[in-house]
Amino acid sequence: MRVVIVTDAWLPQTNGVVRTLSTTVERLRAEGIDVHVIAPDDFRTRPCPTYPEIRLALFAGRAVGRKLRELQPAAVHVATEGPLGLAARNWCLRSGHPFTSAYHTQFPEYIRARAPVPLSVSYAFMRWFHGAATRTLVATPSMQRRLEARGLRNITRWSRGVDSELFRPL
């Protein structure tokens, strides 16, 4: 089985999204699953305004589509709502390939804290973006309730667990 994860957040960044995805890749590979990651380091990037540590791969839609066609994945997971995630979502819809998505961050609130964009506009984008996914993965019951209250559907909890190699009870 071949799985492709498409993400705008990847190494060398250090954050919860990258940690979740890198652990997921590690665990899937340990199960013998062929996992490929399409990430910003595959493309020319620009720094994200207000968060330059995040590099955005702008105008990579054709290249993402080409990579997905070449890889012929059994499953596609669109991990982020950025340019690469959007390109993968669009490819999946055009080619009739189902995909899952994930809601890692309170993205509308993040945008609102940095720009005068109404939450209603950002949540409309979230409904549009994630609404095409077979399932949207979230980490907690409270996040699931919050998103459902904002009109998002097909939400499934994704328990990410604790790394028992790193964290051990005394």
In this predicted structure, what is the pLDDT of residue 68?
98
Over 80: is that where the pLDDT of 56 sits? yes
Helix axes 61-71, 83-95, angle to 10 degrees: 50
In this predicted structure, what is the pLDDT of residue 166?
66
**Per-residue pLDDT tens digits for 69-108:** 999 999 999 999 999 999 999 999 999 999 999 998 888 8
First and final C-alpha spacing in the chain: 39
Average pLDDT value for the chain: 91
More confident residue, 116 or 95: 95
Confidence of residue 113 (pLDDT cuts 50, 70, 90): confident
Residue 124 CA to residue 7 CA, distance in Å, equals 21
Three-state SS annotation for 54-81: EEECCCCHHHHHHHHHHHCCCEEEECCC
